[in-house]
């Protein structure tokens, strides 16, 4: 097994607001190893972006309650000093955000922004050296004519080109972990294909681990090795990518897969849907957070609404699932209904 | 395909003038947002409009709605020219053709209750008695799957999917024939998208509605449309039934769009050959000569720069605007 890059244990994050306590992340654990791509899938409000911010140490400890641990580069991000975290950011872990326009500073040239990220970890580097590094990075992320681009401002680029620049900034210090939070959601589908291809090529070249946060199961299927499905701040299922699509082992995963429209499927019949809406993160339902929308909950007496299921390994597939259904029931979820 | 045509656009053109100020001279340019687009929407059917940002699909929607005056071209509703109607006559048209917007947050007034939002079009477009309005609004709420008791609630008290249902109820209030839906599910989560799409299909079959369904997502359109047009830089590059456009895509842009969609099947990821387009969409102020797609086209030849390909059937069974379809 390759080296462990990140270890998250029982992470909980909650925010106090005037309306009540928002329980954004409720006890999730996962590991990321070198060269691995972990996909985190979930809908709005499932806690995936809060998880990413927590790993990067971007959540203000005065405004949030956090517990558990996040081990990154030999430090626990939750308890480390800001100075120590700053040394990790960029070098151990770097982040690519969803909206490339708001991630870049409109007042500085892109060359300056790449050079600045490099300077943080190489304070003794010369201006000339940083200039060369910036040129090199622009070429690596596939910008045409890097020598001209380097002196241009973010607004002079298209959305896809801006996202390439953001990736260049993230990778300039050769981080061991790249966290990409919906990196292609704001982009057109043909540009999305370009960016995903670029990220995969750069992963080969730099050998970084990637956490890819997305709501798009198609993107996950294409690039991830492992997938973690989140709902209401909890892990519902965690599987190898192929296993997840072949034998989903949680009713929520099954619902998500069913909602995906297939291009090959020309039938116009009604789409499979998940009834109802995601819960309010202020007043989560008791027991399993998914039970009010789950089609199996009614057949389990009151178990689902009273007892929160814990993640357990299904021996046949190696998947982890947090559901009260028994192993045989979970394994039969994927049959017939979804891949027909 | 025998259904009568409800809404038709002939050779629609929309240029937005832009003024670029130089140091010594001011030059007038124009953004060629929609450049000669003709479409037909048939009764009870759905026209899907697909394209990426900047291809002119939202401008087309606004032209069809008469929210924007076209630079040239005509819009016909039930065979009658509505291109230059104003005032009372235009309002009568508005009762027949309504719109659902992409962003359910921005398109609902946060200070109006749901009852007011859905009731407003009734007030302006139909002379309903005030007492009947509330009942009618509550019927509409029930029709789109909202709880009629929430009549007095405000938009922020609803989730994204429910807000989009409010937007649909508002569009249905005046009993339109045609609904123009501009990316109605793009802002919603996947599981909620499916709910809203199912609702729209059910309403279509129950009420006999015609839809113009605009999307950047080809899989959504495939699911709902009877007829599809693919747009690039203000022009239609390919049109046909879903099985024609998806089964035998013949324009290189349609092919690239289709191959760019991530496939939700990891096994296919390895075998699936992707056609990745190079570069970006050129500026609509100064589109390329000849075929507008040629700058990114893997099949471009000299002819493409000289002559603009017409949207005609070139032996594919459906119209394609490409000199070298395949």
CB atoms closer than 10 angstroms to residue A340: 6
C-beta atoms of B191 and A189 within 8 A: no
Mean pLDDT for B139-147 is: 92
CB distance from A103 to chain B under 8 Å?
no
Mean pLDDT for B153-174 is: 91
**A126-130, B103-107, B223-227: lowest mean pLDDT where?**
B103-107
- Report the gap between the CA of B255 and the closest CA in chain A (Å): 11
C-beta atoms of A263 and B261 within 8 A: yes
Residue B21: per-residue pLDDT: 66
Q: Which residue did the predictor score with more confidence, B285 or A70?
A: A70
CB distance from A65 to chain B under 8 Å?
no
Residue A339: per-residue pLDDT: 36
- Report the gap between the CA of A229 and the closest CA in chain B (Å): 14
Residue A262: per-residue pLDDT: 63
CB distance from A159 to chain B under 8 Å?
yes
Q: Which of B189, B216, B232, B241 to mutate to test binding with chain A, by most A CBs within 10 Å of its CB?
A: B189
Which residues does chain B have within 8 Å of residue A216's beta carbon, measured at their own beta carbons?
A: 190, 262
Mean model confidence pLDDT for chain B = 88
CB distance from A229 to chain B under 8 Å?
no
Q: Quote ipTM for the complex.
A: 0.73
For residue B289, pLDDT beyond 60: yes
Closest residue of chain A to B220, computed from CA coordinates:
A261
C-beta atoms of A189 and B190 within 8 A: no
- Report the gap between the CA of B230 and the closest CA in chain A (Å): 14
Percentage of chain B lying above the pLDDT 70 cut: 93
Domains and CATH numbers, chain B: 5-96+176-320 (3.40.50.300)
Which residues does chain A have within 8 Å of residue B246's beta carbon, measured at their own beta carbons?
A: 263, 266
3-state SS record for chain A = CCCEEEEEEEEEEEEEECCEEEEEEEEEEEEEECCCEEEEECCCCCCHHHHHHHHCCCCCCCCEEEEEEEEECCEECCCCCHHHHHHHECCCEEEECCCHHHHCCCCCCHHHHHHHHHHHHCCCCCHHHHHHHHHHHHHHCCCCCHHHHCCCCHHHCCHHHHHHHHHHHHHCCCCCEEEEECCCCCCCHHHHHHHHHHHHHHHHHHCCEEEEEECCHHHHHHHCCEEEEEECCEEEEEEEHHHHHHCCCCHHHHHHHHHCCCCCCCCCCCCCCCCCCCCCCCCCCCCCCCHHHCCCHHHHCCHHHHCCCCCEECCCCCCEECCCCCHHHHHCCCCCCCCC
* Total-model pTM: 0.83
Which residues does chain A have within 8 Å of residue B265's beta carbon, measured at their own beta carbons?
A: 221, 245
C-beta atoms of B194 and A191 within 8 A: no
Mean pLDDT for B113-130 is: 80
> B235-258: per-residue pLDDT in tens?
999 999 999 998 899 999 999 988
C-beta atoms of B216 and A278 within 8 A: no
Q: Mean pLDDT in runs of 10 for chain A (340 residues)?
A: 90 92 94 94 89 93 93 92 92 90 92 95 94 93 89 90 93 93 86 88 89 90 93 94 91 86 60 81 90 88 90 92 91 57
- Report the gap between the CA of B102 and the closest CA in chain A (Å): 14
Mean pLDDT for B197-219 is: 91
For residue B260, pLDDT beyond 60: yes
Which residues does chain A have within 8 Å of residue B215's beta carbon, measured at their own beta carbons?
A: none
Domains and CATH numbers, chain A: 4-229 (3.40.50.300), 232-264+271-331 (no CATH)
Which residues does chain B have within 8 Å of residue A44's beta carbon, measured at their own beta carbons?
A: 160, 189
CB distance from A283 to chain B under 8 Å?
no
């Amino acid at each position: 097994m390759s080296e462990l890059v990140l270890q998250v244990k029982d992470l909980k994050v909650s925010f106090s607001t005037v309306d009540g306590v928002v329980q954004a992340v409720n006890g999730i654990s996962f590991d990321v190893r070198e060269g691995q791509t972990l996909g985190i899938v979930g809908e709005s409000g499932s806690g995936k972006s809060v998880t990413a911010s927590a790993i990067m140490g971007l959540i203000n400890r005065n405004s949030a309650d956090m517990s558990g641990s996040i081990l990154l580069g030999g430090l626990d991000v939750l308890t480390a000093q800001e100075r120590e975290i700053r040394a990790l950011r960029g070098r151990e872990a770097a982040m690519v955000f969803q909206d490339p326009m708001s991630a870049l500073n409109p007042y500085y040239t892109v060359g300056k922004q790449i050079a600045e990220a490099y300077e943080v970890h190489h304070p003794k580097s010369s201006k000339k050296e940083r200039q060369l590094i910036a040129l090199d990075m622009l070429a690596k992320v596939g910008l045409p004519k890097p020598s001209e681009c380097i002196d241009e401002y973010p607004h002079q680029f298209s959305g896809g080109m801006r996202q390439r620049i953001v990736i260049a900034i993230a990778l300039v210090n050769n981080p061991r972990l790249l966290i990409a939070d919906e990196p292609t959601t704001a982009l057109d589908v043909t540009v999305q294909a370009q960016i995903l291809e670029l990220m995969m090529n750069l992963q080969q070249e730099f050998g970084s681990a990637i956490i890819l946060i997305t709501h798009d199961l198609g993107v996950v299927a294409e690039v991830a090795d492992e997938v973690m499905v989140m709902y209401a701040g909890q892990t519902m299922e965690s599987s190898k990518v192929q296993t997840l699509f072949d034998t989903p082992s949680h009713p929520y995963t099954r619902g998500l897969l069913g909602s995906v429209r297939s291009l090959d499927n020309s039938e116009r019949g009604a789409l499979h849907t998940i009834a109802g809406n995601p819960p309010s993160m202020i007043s989560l339902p008791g027991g399993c957070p998914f039970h009010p929308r789950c089609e199996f909950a009614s057949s389990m007496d009151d178990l689902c609404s009273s007892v929160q299921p814990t993640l357990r390994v299904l021996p046949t597939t190696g998947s982890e699932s947090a559901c009260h259904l028994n192993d045989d029931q979970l394994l039969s979820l994927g049959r017939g209904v979804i891949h027909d | 395909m025998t259904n009568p045509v409800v809404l038709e656009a002939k050779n629609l053109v929309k240029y937005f003038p832009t003024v670029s100020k130089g140091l010594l001279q001011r030059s007038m340019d124009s953004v060629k947002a929609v450049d000669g687009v003709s479409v037909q929407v048939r009764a009870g059917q759905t026209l899907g409009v697909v394209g990426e940002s900047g291809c002119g699909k939202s401008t087309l929607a606004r032209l069809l709605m008469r929210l924007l005056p076209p630079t040239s071209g005509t819009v016909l509703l039930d065979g009658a020219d509505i291109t230059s109607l104003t005032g009372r006559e235009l309002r009568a048209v508005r009762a027949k053709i309504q719109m659902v917007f992409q962003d359910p947050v921005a398109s609902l007034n946060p200070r109006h209750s749901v009852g007011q939002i859905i009731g407003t079009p009734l007030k302006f477009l139909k002379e309903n008695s005030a007492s009947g309005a509330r009942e009618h609004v509550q019927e509409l709420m029930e029709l789109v799957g909202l709880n009629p008791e929430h009549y007095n609630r405000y938009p922020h008290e609803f989730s994204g999917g429910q807000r989009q249902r409010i937007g649909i109820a508002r569009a249905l209030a005046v009993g339109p024939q045609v609904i123009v839906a501009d990316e109605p599910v793009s802002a919603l989560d996947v599981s909620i998208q499916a709910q809203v799409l199912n609702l729209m299909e059910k309403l279509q079959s129950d009420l006999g509605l015609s839809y113009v369904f605009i999307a950047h997502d080809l899989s959504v359109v495939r699911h709902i449309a009877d007829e599809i047009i693919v747009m690039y830089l203000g022009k239609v590059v390919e049109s046909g039934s879903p099985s024609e456009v998806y089964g035998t895509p013949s324009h290189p842009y349609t092919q690239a769009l289709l191959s760019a969609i991530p496939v939700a099947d990891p096994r296919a990821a390895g075998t699936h050959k992707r056609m990745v387009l190079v570069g970006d969409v050129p500026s609509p102020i100064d589109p390329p000569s000849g075929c507008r797609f040629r700058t990114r086209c893997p099949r471009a030849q000299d002819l493409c720069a000289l002559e603009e390909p017409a949207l005609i059937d070139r032996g594919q069974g459906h119209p394609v605007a490409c000199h070298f379809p395949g």
